[in-house]
Amino acid sequence: MREILRLHDNHEGKMKGFDHFEVGCHPEFTKTRCFFVVKKDGSKEDFSVSKCINNLEAKTNEAA
Model pLDDT, residue 17: 97
DSSP, res 43: -
Written as tens digits, the pLDDT of the chain (64 aa) is 999 999 999 999 999 999 999 999 988 888 888 999 999 999 999 998 988 999 998 888 887 6
Q: Where are the domains of the chain?
A: 2-63
Q: What predicted TM-score, i.e. pTM, was given to this entire model?
A: 0.80
Class of 2-63 per CATH? alpha beta
Q: List all residues 6 or more positions away from 45 whose beta carbon is below 8 Å from its beta carbon.
A: 14, 36, 37, 39
Model pLDDT, residue 5: 94
